[in-house]
Structures are given as C-alpha cells and as structure tokens.
Amino acid sequence: MATEFPNSDVVELAVREVVIETADARSIVFEPYAGWLDFKPGQFLTLAVPSDQTGVAARCYSLSSTPGEGLKVTVKRTADGYASNWICENLEPGDSLRVLPPSGIFTPASLDADFLLFAGGSGVTPIMSIARTALRNGSGRIVVFYANRDESSVIFAKQWAELAAAYPDRLQVVHWLESVQGLPSQDQLRAFASQYLSYDAFVCGPAPFMASTVAALRELEFPRERRHQEKFISLGGNPFGDAEDAAVAAEEIEAAESDGPGEVVLDDPSAGPSRLQVELDGVDHDFDDWAPGVTLLDHLESKGIAAPYSCRLGECSACACRILEGEVKMLNNDVLDDEDLADGIRLACQSVAVTDKVRVSYS
C-alpha cells in the first residue's frame, strides 16, 4: 500500500516485512510501489523517521533489492545513530513511513562491465544490489571484498554464499574479518586491487575504510571514470517539508550568499539570463532563460523536467551532475570533495549560473 501526496514526490509506504540480518542490522521491505520499481542498482531512499525534537529525522539508506523486485533498504544501528536505532527497535510490519524517490549516482554505467566491489560493514547494502543486478542482467565478472568486525556481523552471509555457488565462473566473494586479520591496510587493499586493474571499482563503507580503499585505487592509477565512492551524511534539514529547520536552513544559505532575498551575488551582478544545455536520461534540452540566482534544479523543475534530487540542501549527492562547459557557483556543498569538484561534478540543487552559457550532463 502506498499513499501519494498531492504536488509532491513524497510517498507514504507501508512496511511489508522486517528481516533480521544480524544482531545490529534489519532489512525493511516495503509494500510494492509501481512508480519506483525501475530504480538503478546502488541508489538509495530517503526516509522520514519520526523525531520528538525536530518532527522528522531525514535519513538516506541504500536499496539492497534489485530493480523490478520491490523496495528494500538495509539499516545497521550505530552507537549514536538516532534514526538507525529507532528503525531497528521500533519498525514493524504494517507501519508506514514517508519516503522520497530512489536517488543517487553510485550506479554502474553498464551492467556488462567487470566489477571490483569493496564493502565495509553496512556498506554492503548497495554493493549487494549492484552485484545481484549485474549477475542477473549483465555478462561481466564480479569480485567482492567484504570487510567486517567478525563472522557474526556479516550482513547477507547466506545470500553471498548462494550467489557464489550459483555463479562460480563469474562471482568471487572475499570475506575479511577484523577479528582474524585485523583492519585491512592500504597496502593490503592495493595488493588485492592490483589483480583487477581493468575492472570498474565501487567502494562503500565506513569513512576510514573508504579513504584507505580509494587511496589504494589512486596509487594503482584507477581512472576517475572507473572509480566510484558512495557518500552519505546525516541531513541537517528536512526535505519532507513539515519541520521548521528546513526553512531555517534555506534562509541561512540564502542570506550567506545574497544581497537580498533571492538575489545571489554573482561575479557580474548585471548579468542577464544564461543559456542552458542539459542532457538527462538520453534527452537533450536547450533553454535560453536561466535567470541569475535561480538554482539549476529549480530552473529545470520550472520547465517540467523531472531532474533527480533528494535533500535540496547540498547535503547528499542525489542531484549531482557534471558541468561540461561554462561555470556555476554552488551555494552550499557538504558532500563533494576536491576531486569531485575538479572533475566537474556539481550539485544541481545548489548551483547558479556564473557564465552566459552552461552545458550540463547527468550521465
């Protein structure tokens, strides 16, 4: 069962099942919702977790299911994580949560590629979705490096064993247990990855694990287009629109970057509208009226184009795109690092035009 909200991307989804994966992890299976079954492997859902303090705690959780089979997110509780603990302790079949559409760019360009998938702890969630989808619909080989504290903390242990048995010529799963081998070092990760230099690498897990893995891949000169890293932070604002902190956050961002309400300070305050060329979902769009101070996302939405987004506050990567020509200025950025920026990646929900022509790709 799903309840749609008028003039909104928010949908209220009923919980069909709660699966105990480990002592600290639960998979939440939602009732089917036809409008979102064609998500991409590696994407996430943004959930509205009830909070006594703020009304809503908006949190992003990766989909562990594959496109076409339904919506399932897997959540591992953390010591200080309000939302993850609430979900693991309280959510039951029959309950419902408000949810934003599947989002994120941690997705393969082709399912026929060879994949080197690194997962640490609950970072296995999107990795499982990518692996299962590629095994089912692709033709390449897949190597999974999965690091955990100990054997009891391995999420999807049975599923990995079954997949390895079903695809012995295409799938190799390597389990790394801290209780046995210690934490994997950058040198060890580099030695492992050196066997698969032609593969497409995806990395998801705790920040130290991702930092070591990405550093190892850089040392091996994995090109940027074949190296992917998932990034999540706790959203400070409320994308569901029913708590005061969303408005406060938006006002703070606007005030910090403007001379007055809605007027963003640009390099040339007298500049007129910019020409905008956008490639999205294989379709090219061309506009000559992108007004100064209007974000890229807002402009596209005003033209009836369903561009991807989640938080609208610059705190996730759901709206990320690549600037191919021209220049934009971001009002806020809490997720892209220096390498992302150097590669031309920008957040559409925070980007305003600086030059009189901008060309953008979402692929």
Q: Binning pLDDT at 50, 70 and 90, where does residue 235 land?
A: low
Residue with the bigger pLDDT between 5 and 327: it is 327
Supply φ then ψ for residue 27, to 5 degrees: -105, 130
Residue 31 has pLDDT above 90, yes or no: yes
Rounded Cα distance between 201 and 17, Å, is 32
Q: Give pLDDT, residue 234.
A: 56
**pLDDT tens track for 298-314:** 999 999 998 888 778 78
Q: Give pLDDT, residue 59.
A: 87
Percent of the chain whose predicted confidence (pLDDT) is above 70: 87
CB 331 within 8 A of CB 295: yes
Q: Give pLDDT, residue 343.
A: 84
> CA separation (Å) from 111 to 114, 123, 141?
8, 20, 10
Pick the CATH number of 253-361 from 3.20.20.140, 3.40.50.300, 3.40.50.970, 3.10.20.30: 3.10.20.30
Q: What is the DSSP letter of 63?
A: B
CB 363 within 8 A of CB 279: yes
Determine if residue 287 is left, alpha or beta; phi over 0 gives left, psi from -120 to 50 gives alpha, anything else beta: beta
Pick the CATH number of 2-103 from 2.60.40.10, 3.40.1790.10, 2.40.30.10, 1.20.58.1030: 2.40.30.10
Token pair 């990395």: residue: 203
**pLDDT tens track for 64-105:** 999 999 999 999 998 878 899 999 999 999 999 999 889 888
Query: In this structure, which amino acid lies at residue 21?
Result: E
Would you list the DSSP string of 123-179?
GHHHHHHHHHHHHHH--S-EEEEEEESSGGG-TTHHHHHHHHHH-TTTEEEEEEEHH
Record: fold of 115-229:
Rossmann fold (3.40.50)
Give domain limits for the chain. 2-103, 115-229, 253-361
Residue 6 has pLDDT above 60, yes or no: no
Tell me whether the CATH fold assigned to 115-229 matches the one assigned to 253-361. Answer: no
Q: Give pLDDT, residue 25.
A: 96
Supply φ then ψ for residue 311, to 5 degrees: -85, -30
Of 169-178, 207-216, 266-275, 288-297, the range with the lowest mean pLDDT is 266-275
Q: Binning pLDDT at 50, 70 and 90, where does residue 334 land?
A: confident
Chain mean pLDDT for the chain: 87
Average pLDDT over residues 344-352: 93
Residue 182 has pLDDT above 60, yes or no: yes
Residue 253 has pLDDT above 70, yes or no: no
Query: In this structure, which amino acid lies at residue 97?
Result: L
Residue 164 has pLDDT above 90, yes or no: yes
Residue 201 has pLDDT above 90, yes or no: yes
Q: Binning pLDDT at 50, 70 and 90, where does residue 241 land?
A: low
Axis-axis angle for helices 186-193, 207-219 (nearest 10)? 50
Residue 280 has pLDDT above 60, yes or no: yes
Q: Give pLDDT, residue 282.
A: 85
Alpha helices (H) along the chain: 82-90, 124-137, 157-166, 178-181, 186-193, 207-219, 244-257, 296-302, 338-342
User: What is the 3-state secondary structure of 273-312?
Assistant: CEEEEEEECCEEEEEEEECCCCCHHHHHHHCCCCCCCCCC
Rounded Cα distance between 191 and 322, Å, is 32
